Amino acid sequence: MEFKVTSSPHLPSSQHTAAIMRRVIYALLPGTAVATYFFGWGVLINIGLAIAFGLTLEAGVLALRNRPLRPTLSDYSTVVTAWLLGLALPQLAPWWLTLVGMLFAIVFAKQLYGGLGYNPFNPAMVGYVALLISFPAHMTTWLHPSSLMETPLSFGQAWQVIFSGHLPEGLSWDSLSAATPLDAVRTNLSMHHALPEIFANNPGFGVLSGVGWEWVSVAYALGGLGLLATRTIPWQTPLAMILGLSLPALLFHWYDPTQYASPIFHLFAGGALLGAFFIVTDPVSGATTPLGRLIFGAGVGITTYVIRTWGGYPDAVAFSVLLLNMNAPLIDYYTQPRVFGKGKGRDA
């Protein structure tokens, strides 16, 4: 009798890339729900648009590259990228902003480098940074949390704003938008106010950071813990990033609490926890050795703190991730684990 010949091991693989990506999406659901609760339908519309644009753009590039569409479009990696960018955009960002962001993320950062697995930079962060640099006004028009608004926008109104750019009758951008907690702290500090005073005088600050923002961050962290529990992401990168951000924050806050915000504030404001659990954990563009992941995460955390505190932008997760992406191959090369039977520990 004749048989099929294949190379060992013959057991089938127990895991699947698409399943990993789906788990990441499930873990994003609590954060997405809370963000929608506080900031309105625009959050969901942004995510939906980003997914639609992302898949369309990816299909277009794959067709140009003569690659089969199904395996790539069904691996959910573009959906994850789109979801992350959608969450990072201002809630009423015009539709073309999302399109340009996804163009940079999917076409330039991902497909032009060869597609999933070959991109040296995190696609969502490339898209975000491209937008932040090119359209700073649009990218910093953030809404008040709904709880501070008199009449929250309906789904139809949000849709209309995103596609036409015109606000409904009687509403102005000034009345709808507010600085993010990080931005508020930054601006007020530059006007030589002390931190306790800033927090006390601004109704936008809550228990942990900003009203609304703090609970979105908590929800991201919950989703992230789910990813850790299912071993979808390694523990090293999130932990290192959280420590890399909060340890310097703790040190400076202890040195001068009127000038330097607490580590709690830093963690629950801006993109810190979204970054720690969902962005620095991108395996493709990050470091891949156990020690390398610690260095990578810590690097992102420290860089974020430095730019937030002394740099030109209120938040800096995206910049820090891209800076560390550049160093990932170097980090990997110099952090190879000790091979079995080599060097120290052999006679442990």
The footprint of other proteins (CB under 8 A) covers 1-17, 19-20, 71, 75, 77, 114-118, 234, 283-284, 286, 288-290, 293, 332, 336-342, 345-348
Residue closer to other proteins, measured from CB, 141 or 289: 289
**Residues 6 or more apart in contact with residue 268 via CB below 8 angstroms:** 208, 209, 213, 214, 217, 218
Residue closer to other proteins, measured from CB, 110 or 253: 110
CB of 87 to other proteins, least distance (A): 21
The torsion defined by the Cα of 210, 246, 311 and 293, in degrees rounded to 10, comes to -120
CB of 145 to other proteins, least distance (A): 36
CB of 82 to other proteins, least distance (A): 17
Is residue 205 helix, strand or coil?
A: strand
Residue closer to other proteins, measured from CB, 12 or 203: 12
CB of 276 to other proteins, least distance (A): 17
CB of 247 to other proteins, least distance (A): 25
Closest CA to 199 of 274, 257, 272, 140: 257
Residue closer to other proteins, measured from CB, 14 or 190: 14
R_g over Cα of the chain: 22
Residue closer to other proteins, measured from CB, 11 or 207: 11
State the amino acid at position 18 in one-letter form: A
State the amino acid at position 217 in one-letter form: S
> Which string of DSSP letters, residue by residue, matches 107-158?
IIIIGGGTSTT--SS-HHHHHHHHHHHH-HHHHT-PBPPGGG-SSPPPHHHH
CB of 75 to other proteins, least distance (A): 7
Residue closer to other proteins, measured from CB, 17 or 146: 17
